[in-house]
Structure 1
Amino acid sequence: MIPTLLPTYARAPMTFVKGEGSWLTEADGRRFLDLGAGIAVNALGHAHPALVQALTDQAGALWHTSNLYRIPQQQALADKLTEHTFADTVFFTNSGTEACELAVKMARKYWYDKGHPEKTGIITFSGSFHGRSSAGIAAAGSEKMTKGFGPLLPGFVHLEFGDHDALTAAVDDTIAAILIEPVQGEGGIRPVPDQCLKGLRDLCDEHGILLIFDEVQCGVARTGRLFAHEWSGITPDIMMVAKGIGGGFPLGAVLATEEAASGMTLGTHGSTYGGNPLGCAVGCAVMDHVTDPDFLAEVNRKAALMRQKLEGLIAAHPDVFDSVRGSGLMLGIKCRATNADVVKAGYDELVLTVPAADNVIRLLPPLTITDAEIDDAMSRLDAAASAVAAA
């Protein structure tokens, strides 16, 4: 008999009932050090006082009116995002998946309105993850994502990650955009080198192609800048955002230049809940923290500390771990042992990590993690690695 919850998740055997900062409390009272942060969602940790206050205040005033009317909190968050980014305009969604849908529509509608309806192709890369909607799985293209869900949305050109020759060859008069994560998350914490991002910008400018960045996982201060692409010194035309922007409350967005968004006119897109007062009130509180230069400096300092300690951990367990990679507090440990075994051993040591492709475990702690908690994390991961080696 099928469970009342559709069985699409292989859930770990824990039930968390309370969160505070970098910690989650299980129903049996055990406290886990959370190095996953809801997969890079709880950017300011669990139950951050400023976010709780923003949500509580808004919940006591107004939850929902729909986008039939002006929403002051939505306007305030859009103003903050455009002030601190390349973007001229923002559309709010509830998730990164919905942001992907709009980004694809926006790119294709742009060229249609420019008199080039043949320009529908979108170049994507192996190892990518852009959500689980029809557009998202078609964009990623992997068998794991697409098997059994055909016919797939057409128009995506899938290339191998890092194959520059294939990229150059794929560009023709049918290509509307290039879509890429500056740091792949699900794909195994694979950063795109700054020079490659610059090369993509140059390629798009040369051929008149739109550049779309998926910063759903790597954005919102995760890499030590407000958005990961800032390290390269270039900007996209369209950007997908979610996860950290809501600090745990469901919220996403598509940011775009005025030119790239020019096709999205009255009636071309909409959302019932997107940009609701609750989500945007929390998003404003998140932005107030993550745009503070002192906050970003602390993320970078803690990222350097954590990476240094991870290098020592890897050196101490060469049969379990291979190397560390990533950017900021978006780090991955490439494993020699099976990554799922390392994650499970962590459960016994009351530490949470997240598996990814390429036999990687992801470390995506709250950006507010303390130095003492980083030390604690290393001790727990050390014990987990010892258990895996002894098994």
Structure 2
Amino acid sequence: MQVTRETFDQVMVPNYSPAKMVPVRGLGSRVWDQAGNEFIDFAGGIAVNALGHCHPELVAALTEQGQKLWHLSNVFTNEPALRLAKKLTDHTFAERVYFANSGAEANEAALKLARRYALEKFGEQKQKIIAFTQGFHGRTFFTVTVGGQPAYSDGFGPKPGAVEHCDYNDLAAFESLISDDTCAVMMEPLQGEGGIISPDPAFVKGVRELCNKHNALLIFDEVQSGVGRTGHLYAYMGLEVVPDILTTAKSLGGGFPIGAMLTTTEIAQHLKPGTHGSTYGGNPLACAVAERTFDIVNDPAVLAGVKQKEQLFRDTLATINNKHHVFSEIRGKGMLLGCALNEDFSGQSRLFLDASTQQQLMCLVAGANVVRFAPSLVIPDEDIAEGLTRFERAVASVVAAR
């Protein structure tokens, strides 16, 4: 059957507006469309393809497991899930793992666990959840309500209650909001969709201290920032703050759908049998691929390489900006970077994305004012150089069209 981009408009629900070209093949940081055009991938499937496309070791892990077991249900456990959980607990603060299919599902589990923990330990009055404006935690009704972007949560009727928001990096506002009725605080240790906003170290430490004071659980949403993305295995490791619950997905599977919630033994015991579940969560296929991804990423040389590649991006972007004067700053950490547009180009990030696609570069936006890059953690330096050459052509075309 021959399908084209026009087929999308005929058969798909119109909640997405995909590019005109249709990718059909990928290898490393390169992608080819139906017409055979080659693109460099700085989008990484929105920070998912941590090792690029069709990494041979991930293909081997998937192929090997695909000839053994695909699905069992959680009536049984399986070896890949147990091995992955052991590695996650060995290399993080956590002692217990719950597997899901996505970041939204992992966050849903974290929020339900926090509410359950508070109810059973402190009583029904302790149910308030605090999150941050411009946060993003998924598209389930609970997680989209906790995320601080009304554009994503409005228009679907009454929202889950007892959820409040304050500005990121505003410790005074947060302190005025938290109380003994707060059961949990959910935050990204580096805001992604909200504009690639890094936390002030004093802010993060202050949030941790206030959570301790009020017996509130601190949940770090590391769906986008985790698994090597910032040059640390998890971003919290570079902040000197340890959460009570951590969620991870995206890069964890290297492109195969998987999510996980990590926490301590004490907190985990409140999700007793029957209180939460997932049909596909922890399936052998996903866990086998994720285990291999985790092994490759959790290597000092790979993590150091992420920081080196960040500097290459920053140096070249500075050169581009000195010539074209379009960015106010380069934000982010590791292979999660945002080019914040200056006042002359305010609200026009989509123009830069479309121009990049025209130059055969795949990138992202993070709101109307930030162009986002989230490439493979092991993208070759020559692909960075060539991709940024294409990006400069895109920038020049936007500037010239003003």
Q: TM-score range by the shorter chain?
A: over 0.9
Report the Cα distance in structure 1 between the residues aligned to 2:111 and 2:221, rounded to whole angstroms: 11
Asked if 1:40 corresponds to 2:47, the answer is yes
Deviates more, 1:123-132 or 1:305-314: 305-314
Contact 1:37 1:364 in 2 (8 A): yes
Asked if 1:228 corresponds to 2:235, the answer is yes
| Partner-residue secondary structure (3-state), 1:182 | coil
Report the Cα distance in structure 1 between the residues aligned to 2:245 and 2:168, rounded to whole angstroms: 20
Q: What displacement does 1:173 show?
A: 2.2
Question: What is the letter of the counterpart of residue 333 of structure 2?
Answer: S
Asked if 1:137 corresponds to 2:147, the answer is no
Question: What is the letter of the counterpart of residue 353 of structure 2?
Answer: V
Q: What displacement does 1:298 show?
A: 1.1
The partner residue of 1:327 within 328, 333, 337 is 333
Report the Cα distance in structure 2 between the residues aligned to 1:255 and 1:346, rounded to whole angstroms: 37
Asked if 1:108 corresponds to 2:115, the answer is yes
The partner residue of 2:58 within 51, 55, 70 is 51
| Partner-residue secondary structure (3-state), 1:190 | coil
Partner of 1:305: 312
The residue correspondences of 1:1-391 to structure 2 (distance < 5 A) are: 3-318=10-325, 320-336=326-342, 337=345, 338-391=348-401
Partner of 2:3: none
Q: What displacement does 1:282 show?
A: 0.3
Deviates more, 1:306-315 or 1:18-27: 306-315
How many residues align structurally? 389
Give the ranges of 4+ consecutive aligned residues of structure 1 lying more than 3 Å apart after TM superposition.
Answer: none
User: Structure 1's 81 and 56: CA in aligned 2 closer, same or farther, altered over 3 A?
Assistant: same
Contact 1:129 1:187 in 2 (8 A): yes
* RMSD over aligned Cα atoms: 1.1
Report the Cα distance in structure 2 between the residues aligned to 1:172 and 1:195, rounded to whole angstroms: 20
Contact 2:352 2:395 in 1 (8 A): yes
| Partner-residue secondary structure (3-state), 2:138 | coil
Deviates more, 1:105-114 or 1:162-171: 162-171
Report the Cα distance in structure 2 between the residues aligned to 1:387 and 1:97, rounded to whole angstroms: 37
Q: TM-score, normalised by structure 2?
A: 0.95
Q: Give a deviation string over 1:171-218, Cα, whole Å, max 9, x none.
A: 112100110001111101111122221121111112211100000001
What residue ranges of structure 2 are gaps of 5+ in the alignment? 1-8
Contact 1:195 1:232 in 2 (8 A): no
Q: What displacement does 1:290 show?
A: 1.1
What residue ranges of structure 1 are gaps of 5+ in the alignment? none
| Partner-residue secondary structure (3-state), 1:325 | strand
| Partner-residue secondary structure (3-state), 1:255 | strand
Report the Cα distance in structure 2 between the residues aligned to 1:162 and 1:302, rounded to whole angstroms: 27
Contact 1:194 1:231 in 2 (8 A): no
Q: Give a deviation string over 1:147-172, Cα, whole Å, max 9, x none.
A: 21121011211112222222111111
Report the Cα distance in structure 2 between the residues aligned to 1:25 and 1:322, rounded to whole angstroms: 33
Report the Cα distance in structure 2 between the residues aligned to 1:364 and 1:344, rounded to whole angstroms: 17
Q: What displacement does 1:314 show?
A: 1.6
Report the Cα distance in structure 2 between the residues aligned to 1:141 and 1:329, rounded to whole angstroms: 24
Question: What is the letter of the counterpart of residue 370 of structure 2?
Answer: V
Deviates more, 1:263-272 or 1:156-165: 156-165
% same residue: 43
